[in-house]
């Protein structure tokens, strides 16, 4: 009986998409590595930097997560290098490559910086895949007031350099900040790899085989140690609304590094 009704559905395309689907058109933001399940429903990334065994869990989590990204590339494969902001032709079965091995220090070889005696870890951010979703990008005139200044400046700079219609502006910008004044103080400087956002060429997701979600590695250069830091990261596009309670468009986690 069920099979009969399943006949009405497509294998590749969901019956309901975007706003007609319950998933909507406001993607959620996710982070990796996630705390272990035993640590019930928590978002705390807590480790002892000096203890390699202690950080193994986190590194291993990232290794597992990044595995699909590190597959052997072959020329016949679907992966292509994409120009910023330009997605592969529809129906081409090609997907834009995500080169996670080039984001030092956020690489396996460097332990994603979890064991650094001075610096903080790399936390990877990803935007939830929604079939057919396209971001509506900001330009310097449309950026909202609440956007962090460094992003506004960055957008302005690119606009000045490449013009207002540049594909380089086709980015879902990302920012991470401490939630409270103390957190802002403790968080230290942050470096985003490879750029300040998810590049436009990765959108839309149309369930192409081997599609890789764009990632951003957020490298905390020198966070305070021995204290808990509340961090909130946000994705910026004019069709992304932030709702901390429903965890849409933003993600919250805590970081705590012991000596």
Compare residues 12 and 161 and give the one whose CB is closer to another protein: 12
Q: Does 28 bind another protein (CB under 8 A)?
A: yes
Distance from first CA to last CA of the chain, Å, rounded?
A: 60
Q: Does 90 bind another protein (CB under 8 A)?
A: no
Q: Pick from 188, 214, 189: which is nearest to 200 by CA?
A: 214
Helix or strand or coil: residue 165? coil
Question: What is the closest distance, in whole angstroms, from the C-beta atom of residue 196 to another protein in the complex?
Answer: 21
Question: What is the closest distance, in whole angstroms, from the C-beta atom of residue 40 to another protein in the complex?
Answer: 8
∠ at Cα 97 (90, 10), nearest 5°?
A: 40
Compare residues 143 and 206 and give the one whose CB is closer to another protein: 206
Question: What is the closest distance, in whole angstroms, from the C-beta atom of residue 28 to another protein in the complex?
Answer: 4
Q: Does 255 bind another protein (CB under 8 A)?
A: no
Which residues have a Cβ under 8 Å from the Cβ of 26 and sit 6 or more positions away?
A: 239, 240, 241, 243, 248, 249
As beta bridge partners, residue 230 has 254
Question: What is the closest distance, in whole angstroms, from the C-beta atom of residue 154 to another protein in the complex?
Answer: 26
Q: Does 67 bind another protein (CB under 8 A)?
A: no
Helix or strand or coil: residue 77? coil
Question: What are the backbone angles phi and psi of residue 176, rounded to the nearest 5°?
Answer: -125, 140
Q: Does 131 bind another protein (CB under 8 A)?
A: yes
Q: How many CB atoms lie within 10 A of CB 26?
A: 20
Q: Does 57 bind another protein (CB under 8 A)?
A: no
Q: Pick from 29, 42, 27: which is nearest to 215 by CA?
A: 29
Q: Does 14 bind another protein (CB under 8 A)?
A: yes
Q: Does 248 bind another protein (CB under 8 A)?
A: yes
Question: What is the closest distance, in whole angstroms, from the C-beta atom of residue 65 to another protein in the complex?
Answer: 11
Looking up tokens 């069709």 gives 239
Give the whole-angstrom CA distance, residue 124 versus residue 91: 30
Q: Does 13 bind another protein (CB under 8 A)?
A: yes
Q: Does 46 bind another protein (CB under 8 A)?
A: no
Which residues have a Cβ under 8 Å from the Cβ of 70 and sit 6 or more positions away?
A: 100, 101
Q: Does 104 bind another protein (CB under 8 A)?
A: no
Contacting range for another protein; rule: CB under 8 A; set: 73-81, 99-107, 205-213, 233-241: 205-213
Which residues contact another protein (rule: CB under 8 A)? 1-2, 5-6, 9, 12-16, 21-24, 27-30, 34, 37, 40-43, 126, 128-131, 205, 207, 211, 246-248, 251
């Amino acid at each position: 009986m069920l099979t009969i009704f399943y006949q009405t559905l497509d294998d590749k395309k969901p019956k309901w998409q975007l706003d007609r689907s319950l998933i909507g058109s406001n993607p959620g933001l996710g982070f990796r590595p996630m705390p272990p399940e035993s640590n019930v429903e928590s978002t705390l990334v807590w480790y002892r930097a000096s203890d390699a065994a202690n950080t193994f869990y986190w590194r291993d989590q990232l290794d597992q997560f990044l595995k699909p990204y590190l597959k052997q590339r072959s020329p016949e494969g679907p992966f292509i290098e994409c120009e910023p902001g330009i997605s592969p032709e529809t129906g081409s079965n090609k997907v834009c490559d995500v080169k996670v091995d080039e984001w030092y220090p956020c690489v396996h070889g460097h332990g994603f910086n979890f064991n650094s005696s001075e610096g903080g870890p790399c936390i990877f951010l990803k935007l939830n895949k929604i079939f057919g979703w396209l971001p509506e990008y900001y330009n310097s005139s449309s950026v909202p007031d609440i956007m962090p200044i460094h992003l506004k400046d960055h957008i302005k700079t690119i606009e000045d350099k490449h013009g207002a219609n540049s594909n380089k502006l086709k980015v879902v910008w990302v920012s991470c900040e401490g939630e409270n004044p103390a957190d802002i103080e403790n968080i230290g400087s942050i470096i985003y790899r490879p750029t300040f956002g998810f590049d436009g060429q990765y959108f839309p997701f149309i369930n192409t085989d081997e599609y890789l979600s764009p990632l951003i590695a957020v490298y905390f250069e020198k966070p305070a140690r021995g204290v808990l830091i509340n961090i909130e990261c946000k994705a910026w596009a004019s069709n992304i609304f932030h709702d901390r309670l429903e965890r849409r468009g933003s993600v919250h986690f805590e970081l705590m590094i012991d000596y």
